[in-house]
């Protein structure tokens, strides 16, 4: 046998050994239902960060449902029930790659929503010649990425994020955007594994958020907040707690000096995952004798691999900045591209 034939024989022997194992691992990754987990699995295979047996073990570990085990390290890396912790760990891994941006808050499109209490005064100032419709579209785009990993030690990451919410009078003759809220922010998170009463404090964080509607004159609305947050998990449930302090503005520049009387000083969000369904409830209150608050309910359910059906219900004050001091109820139907867990 000459050298060329011998080299070809060696090559085919090596491929015959490697490809079946690689195919098995690709099959394992393809079977993962969650998009972020599946992408992380493929990424580990592509970079060679883990052998096929390691990849298989990690997938089994993160998808098998069983009783809680005593923590021996950061719980969100070893406990398959802590879905938010898993997601944060995967996002941290993904955004360490250049040009990768991950979801922040939910990304959704509600083609049809019904609002029972129209803010006609603000609308008349914007579109005096067109009637305002009770039915309009609403959608949200929310993205984030890591600016600096391990900034204050292992598990501490500096993030930058951008969220935009839009209320669109789609069924009006001229179809204008009634309101757009712009929300850039920067925040620092710390991975945690503190456990109490069966819950795990997965992450704590602090940050700064600006929010405005980009309008001028009497329709201008904006505020800046310093925020702290903490996330607690137990099995397939998560509880996110936030508190904020509004940074003061000069009276001449403040478009909405009483916004805290309606938006309060924090909120609580509870999330529960059941099979491929996700339920969330958000509560906010101003904690004053003149009681004002808000309730938001969300439900996502499977449609296909890319999209989930999405139903959103809101009741109270502050759905948008232009409506911060108006009490309204809205229900909408559409699709969500990302979940919270």
Whether 318 and 294 have beta carbons less than 8 Å apart is answered as: yes
Closest CA to 142 of 161, 160, 163, 159: 163
Residue 7 has pLDDT above 50, yes or no: no
pLDDT for 24 equals 45
Please give the mean pLDDT across all residues of the chain. 82
DSSP character string of 285-326: E--SSS--EEEEEEEEEESSSS-EEEEEEEEEE-SSSTTTT-
What phi-psi label fits residue 51: left (phi over 0), alpha (psi between -120 and 50 degrees) or beta?
A: beta
What is the average pLDDT across 197-217? 94
What is the average pLDDT across 143-154? 93
Q: pLDDT tens digit string along 100-136?
A: 789 999 999 999 999 999 999 999 998 888 889 999 9
pLDDT for 42 equals 65
pLDDT for 34 equals 65
Top pLDDT among 260 and 24 is at 260
Task: Judge if 143 and 279 occupy the same domain.
Answer: yes
**Is residue 195, in this structure, part of any structural domain at all?**
yes
Task: Judge if 57 and 186 occupy the same domain.
Answer: no
Residue 173: which residues within 8 A CB-CB, separation 6 or more? 130
Residue 47 has pLDDT above 60, yes or no: no
pLDDT for 41 equals 67
Please report which confidence band the pLDDT of residue 93 belongs to, taking 50, 70 and 90 as the band edges: confident
**Is residue 341, in this structure, part of any structural domain at all?**
no
Top pLDDT among 229 and 33 is at 229
Within 10 angstroms of residue 85's Cβ, the number of other Cβ atoms is 26
Domain that holds residue 327: 102-336
Task: Judge if 264 and 137 occupy the same domain.
Answer: yes
Angle between helices 35-47 and 52-63 (to 10 degrees): 170
Task: Judge if 288 and 224 occupy the same domain.
Answer: yes
Give the number of domains in the chain.
2
Q: With 0-12 CB in 10 A as exposed, 13-18 as middle and 19+ as buried, what is 72?
A: exposed
What is the average pLDDT across 151-168? 95
Task: Judge if 40 and 106 occupy the same domain.
Answer: no
pLDDT for 14 equals 43
The rounded distance, in Å, linking the Cα atoms of 151 and 207 is 14
Residue 268 has pLDDT above 50, yes or no: yes
Residue 80 has pLDDT above 70, yes or no: no
Last residue of a domain, one of 93, 125, 144: 93
76 belongs to the catalytic site: no
Find the catalytic residue in 212, 220, 277, 329.
212
Please report which confidence band the pLDDT of residue 43 belongs to, taking 50, 70 and 90 as the band edges: low
Task: Judge if 189 and 243 occupy the same domain.
Answer: yes
Please report which confidence band the pLDDT of residue 50 belongs to, taking 50, 70 and 90 as the band edges: very low
Task: Judge if 71 and 115 occupy the same domain.
Answer: no
Among the residue ranges 38-47, 67-76, 266-275, the one predicted with the least confidence is 67-76
**Is residue 221, in this structure, part of any structural domain at all?**
yes
Task: Judge if 241 and 273 occupy the same domain.
Answer: yes
The rounded distance, in Å, linking the Cα atoms of 240 and 106 is 14
pLDDT for 35 equals 65
- Paired tokens of 193: 């594994």
Q: pLDDT tens digit string along 167-177?
A: 999 998 889 99
Closest CA to 113 of 165, 170, 156: 170
Last residue of a domain, one of 68, 93, 118: 93
Within 10 angstroms of residue 34's Cβ, the number of other Cβ atoms is 18
H helix or E strand, kind and range, residue 138:
strand 135-149
Rg (CA), the chain: 24
Find the catalytic residue in 25, 72, 76, 210.
210
**Is residue 165, in this structure, part of any structural domain at all?**
yes
**Is residue 313, in this structure, part of any structural domain at all?**
yes
Question: Which residues lie across from 234 on neighbouring strands?
Answer: 237
Among the residue ranges 52-56, 119-123, 175-179, 259-263, the one predicted with the least confidence is 52-56
The rounded distance, in Å, linking the Cα atoms of 276 and 335 is 14
What is the average pLDDT across 43-53? 50
Top pLDDT among 27 and 127 is at 127
Closest CA to 164 of 138, 183, 187: 183
CA distances from residue 171 to 168, 176, 247, 296 in whole angstroms, order as listed: 8, 9, 38, 24
pLDDT for 253 equals 86
Residue 54 has pLDDT above 80, yes or no: no
212 belongs to the catalytic site: yes
What is the average pLDDT across 219-241? 95
CATH number of the domain bearing residue 116:
2.40.230.10
- Paired tokens of 318: 């502050």
pLDDT for 69 equals 37
For the four alpha carbons of 19, 305, 34 and 302, in that order, the dihedral sign comes to negative
The rounded distance, in Å, linking the Cα atoms of 194 and 71 is 9
SS3 251: coil
**Is residue 121, in this structure, part of any structural domain at all?**
yes
**Is residue 289, in this structure, part of any structural domain at all?**
yes
Residue 146 has pLDDT above 60, yes or no: yes
Task: Judge if 286 and 308 occupy the same domain.
Answer: yes
Task: Judge if 262 and 326 occupy the same domain.
Answer: yes
Last residue of a domain, one of 93, 120, 135: 93
Closest CA to 190 of 160, 146, 158: 158
Task: Judge if 256 and 306 occupy the same domain.
Answer: yes
Number of H helices, E strands in the chain: 6, 13
Task: Judge if 272 and 315 occupy the same domain.
Answer: yes
């Amino acid at each position: 046998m000459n050298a060329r034939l011998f080299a070809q024989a060696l090559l085919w022997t090596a491929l015959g050994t490697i490809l079946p194992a690689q195919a098995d691992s690709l099959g394992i990754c393809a079977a993962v239902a969650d998009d972020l987990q599946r992408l992380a699995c493929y990424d580990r295979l592509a970079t060679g960060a883990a052998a096929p047996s390691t990849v298989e073990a990690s997938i089994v570990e993160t998808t098998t449902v069983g009783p809680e085990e005593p923590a021996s390290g950061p719980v969100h890396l070893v406990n398959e029930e802590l879905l938010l912790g898993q997601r944060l760990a995967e996002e941290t891994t993904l955004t360490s790659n250049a040009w990768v941006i991950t979801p922040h808050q939910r990304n959704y499109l509600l083609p049809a929503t019904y609002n029972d209490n129209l803010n006609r005064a603000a609308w008349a100032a914007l579109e005096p010649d067109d009637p305002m419709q009770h039915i309009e579209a609403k959608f949200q785009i929310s993205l984030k990425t890591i600016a600096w990993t391990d900034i204050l030690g292992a598990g501490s990451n500096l993030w930058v994020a951008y969220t935009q919410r839009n209320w669109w009078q789609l069924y009006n003759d001229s179809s204008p955007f009634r309101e757009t809220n712009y929300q850039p922010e920067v925040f620092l998170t710390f991975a945690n594994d503190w456990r109490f009463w069966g819950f795990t404090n997965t992450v704590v964080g602090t940050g700064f958020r600006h929010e405005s509607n980009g309008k001028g004159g009497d329709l201008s609305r904006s505020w800046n907040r310093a925020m702290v947050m903490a996330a607690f998990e137990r099995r397939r449930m998560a509880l996110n707690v936030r508190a904020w302090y509004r940074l003061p503005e000069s009276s001449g520049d403040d478009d909405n000096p009483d916004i805290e009387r309606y938006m309060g000083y924090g909120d609580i969000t509870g999330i529960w995952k059941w099979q491929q369904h996700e339920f969330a409830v958000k509560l906010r209150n101003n904690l004053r004798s003149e009681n004002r608050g808000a309730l938001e309910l969300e439900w996502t359910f499977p449609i296909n691999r890319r999209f989930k059906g999405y139903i959103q219900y809101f009741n109270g004050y502050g759905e948008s900045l232009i409506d911060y001091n108006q009490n309204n109820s809205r229900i909408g139907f559409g699709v969500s591209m990302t979940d919270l867990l």
